[in-house]
Amino acid sequence: MVEELTYTLPATKRVKQAAHVGVVGSGDLEVMIEPSKQAKSQITIRTGINGFKKTWDAVIYRFFEENNVAAIVTINDFGATPGVVKIRLSQALEVSENG
């Protein structure tokens, strides 16, 4: 069963363009990011690994507190570690800013 987690966080910096990084596969995830028209981030996580909400909370809150980006983010996870999640989020943000 897939667990879905959603977050809405305040933000002020807007991303410039949509980006897609990573792949869903054993131990990995994909991140899709697109500009938000509002001063907030909306994050949706779909994961096949249930029971890690506290870990997701920590990773998501920290990343968006550090980066303050207003974006619509979709994460499809297949067991990625918190370090991989942060790397993929950072990659998506970089691609959305620099093309």
Residue with tokens 């792949």: 23
Q: What is the pLDDT of residue 75?
A: 98
Identify any residues that bridge with 71 across adjacent strands, giving them in sequence order. 35
Backbone angles phi, psi at 47, to 5 degrees: -135, 140
Domain residue ranges in the chain: 3-98
pLDDT, the chain, mean: 94
> Which amino acid type is present at position 91?
Q
Distance CA 60, CA 65 (A): 8
Fold classification of 3-98 (topology level): Ribosomal Protein S5; domain 2 (3.30.230)
In terms of Cα–Cα distance, which of 61, 54, 60, 45 is closest to 3?
45
What predicted TM-score, i.e. pTM, was given to this entire model?
Answer: 0.93
List, for residues 46-75, the tens digit of each pLDDT value.
998 999 999 999 999 999 999 999 999 999
For the record, the structure tokens of 93 come out as 């943000």
